[in-house]
Structure 1
Amino acid sequence: MIPFARLLVRRLALLIVLLATVFVVVDLLPGNTARAVLGRDATPNQIAAKERELGLDHPLPQRFWDWISAVLTGDFGHTARGRSINELLVDKFPPTLLLGGLALTLTVVASLLLGLWWAGRRVAPEVPITSLIRQGAVRLLQPTTTIAAAIPEFVVATLLILVFALAAGWLPAVTITDRSGFPASPDMLVLPVLALAIPQIGWNTRVVRAAMVDAAQAPHVESAVLDGISTRAVLLRHVLPFALPTIVASFATTVGMVLGGSLVVETIFNYPGLGALLAGSVADRDVSLIASVVALSGAVIMCMLAVADGIRAWSLRGRG
């Protein structure tokens, strides 16, 4: 429990440092928050009054302390345009959570299936592969997963739009929302989810395969193969439990990658989530809103890392 508490405190400290860095970086950006809110026609007196209203006349450390102190009580404050940040996050975070959750689920399922199947060719090489299609699939997995992991989400999103929206006309390229603030139809989620999941599937498939092959070097696995146990049973009962810590750590890291990528993908597909909110806050140099989005995303990632730590501890129980 004590090591876990130390790890939690360390992650909280890193999050606070990251939030302080956000304040510094936004403050160094060119432009003026008050002028961005009031417009080009604002007079110097109006700009000065707006800066006093927003607290921009205070030193940067004091502004950060005032904001972080309020956040610890659950109050994220107000945007430079006067809207409640709490209300904005409640309105925009659920669609992002839906998009990221679907992409993460697809990533976990697809990479596990592909990684296990790919690793099965190494764990039990004596099993004959008679199908030419299966042989070709095995040979294609390595370059395909490498390419998929290397391509950024915005490139994948652009290619998906060109192929499935513009050329084929099968799926919509723009998201339209209903009264609930979510996409009006399920097909509007397909391309954004794929754009987020494809790079992560490529990366995690390779991690799953490598972890399984490494775990398969254990003596008990070789004994199970020699005893004639089926490849599926060997993988699931004798190899996967030993590979699980590495796999879970990779999936936990994927949470942050999916959340970060969703902010870009949402902008491309006009998706109603935190992406558009963050884009507008950067244009306004609204440091409170930017830091609030970062803080919320960081909290979600920390929760997922804590879950991953619990799963790893469970999988390693009883081992020396």
Structure 2
Amino acid sequence: MAGSATSAPKSALVGVLPLIGKRIGSALLTLLLVSAVVFAISGLLPGDAAQETLGQSATPEQVAALRHEMGLDRPALTRYVDWLGGILQGDPGQSLVANMPVREVISERLPNSLMLAGFTALVSVPLALAIGVASAINRGGRLDRVLNVMTLSAVAVPEFLVATLGVLVFSVKLLWLPSIALVSEEASLWDTVRSCALPVLSLSVVVIAQMARMTRAAVADQLDRPYVEMARLKGVPFRRLVLFHVLPNAVGPIVNAVALSLSYLLGGAIIVETIFNFPGLASLMVNAVTSRDMPLLQACAMIFCAIYLALVLLADVVAILANPRLRAQ
């Protein structure tokens, strides 16, 4: 009996592996298609790194010579194949402006972006889940209406407005927080937290609102299921019903809500990092667009897409493991 009981979870996990493998294969195929789109769209930008480096006063001969030196005069398909091969080998190429490997340029900024995303997730996920669950439990009540108004208002407010108001209140009026995010290895933990406070606040407002609304929808959907009504008729306490029945069944949709909301950081970080001069990957991508540094721009775009697909893939895997019906499929 004990052997059969322990073998059941193993057999269920083995049965899930092909489905997870299909999700991973689909994500890799999507990433391949995204690489072609990123390369094609970046090639449509007017001008190139040679023209931006030499300036408007350069002669056509000088621009042509520098384009040949940078390899920009090669056919687009040849450049794409070489670039994709380098990406697969972990070498995204050479920065045309910084004249150094793109990998080294990104390695200086990526930890800062991951730190900002980590701080934002640490603040936003618990608050959003608490707001969403509280709103779903009190559907139609005063608390639900207040929270709905707050989350709808927060979703409607753009990040740059939140960032601007945060600077005016906490930096200009109260003098509590710095208006420019200075991050360095020598800074203490407290200084790093103070520098990241306003960027995290600007990103968290919209992320919390979106995640809370999706969490509310997931929990409310479970509360409308017949098993909840049956449990209530049997006298199961409501708190126990929510904690041990509703929330476990809503894990899949809630994880999807968390993943989609955190993926929003990829777009919102571009605006926030630019406003606060935060040395992250998003602001590096903006600089790459300005200087037409295509290898750097393409590498940053691929990292953002890979992170987004990884979050969605993680949410799919958790939903499959948490939902017996998906495992049966």
TM-score by length of 2: 0.86
Among candidates 126, 140, 146, match of residue 140 of structure 1: 146
Q: CA deviation at 1:181?
A: 8.6
Q: CA deviation at 1:313?
A: 1.6
Alignment pair present for 1:91 and 2:98: no
Q: Unaligned 5+ residue runs, structure 2?
A: 1-16
**1:180-219 equivalent positions in 2, closer than 5 A:** 184-219=191-226
Aligned to 1:233: 240
How far has the Cα of 1:301 moved from its partner?
Answer: 2.3
2:75 pairs with 1:68 = no
Change (3 A) 1:20 1:187: same
1:121 paired with 2:127, answer: no
Deviation at 1:26, TM superposition (A): 2.3
C-alpha displacement of 1:167: 2.7
Q: How does 1:1-320 map to 2 (within 5 A)?
A: 1-81=17-97, 82-122=99-139, 137-179=143-185, 184-317=191-324
Cα distance change, pair 171–227 in 1 and its aligned pair in 2 (3 A): farther
Aligned equivalents of 1:176, 1:280: Cα separation in 2: 18
Specify whether residues 180 and 295 from structure 1 end up closer, same or farther in structure 2 by C-alpha distance, changes over 3 A only. farther
Q: Which moved more, 1:86-95 or 1:7-16?
A: 7-16
How far off its partner does 1:25 sit? 2.2
Structure 2 CA distance for aligned equivalents of residues 48 and 290 of structure 1: 22
Task: Name the SS for the 2:138 alignment partner.
Answer: helix
Note if contact 1:148-1:199 (Cα within 8 Å) is conserved in structure 2.
yes
Using the TM superposition, name which of 296-305 and 270-279 deviates more.
Answer: 296-305
Aligned in 2, Cα 1:217/1:16: closer, same or farther, shift over 3 Å?
A: same
Distance 1:296 1:181, change over 3 A: farther
What TM-score results when the alignment is normalised by the length of structure 1? 0.89
Report the AA paired with residue 196 of structure 2. L
Instruction: Please state whether the residue corresponding to 2:250 is helix, strand or coil.
Output: helix
Compare 240-249 and 174-183 and name the one that shifted more. Answer: 174-183
Alignment size in residue pairs? 309
1:120, 1:231 within 8 Å by CA — same for their partners in 2?
A: no
What is the CA-CA distance between 1:142 and the residue it aligns to?
Answer: 0.9
- Aligned-partner Cα distance in 1 for 2:158–2:29: 29
**What is the Cα-based RMSD across aligned positions, in Å?**
2.2
Give how far 1:144 is off.
Answer: 1.0
CA-CA distance at 1:97 after TM superposition: 0.5
TM-superposed deviation, 1:225: 2.8
Distance across 2 between alignment mates of 1:245 and 1:256 = 17
Higher mean displacement: 142-151 or 178-187: 178-187
Hey, what's the Cα distance between the residues in 1 that align with 2:152 and 2:209? 6
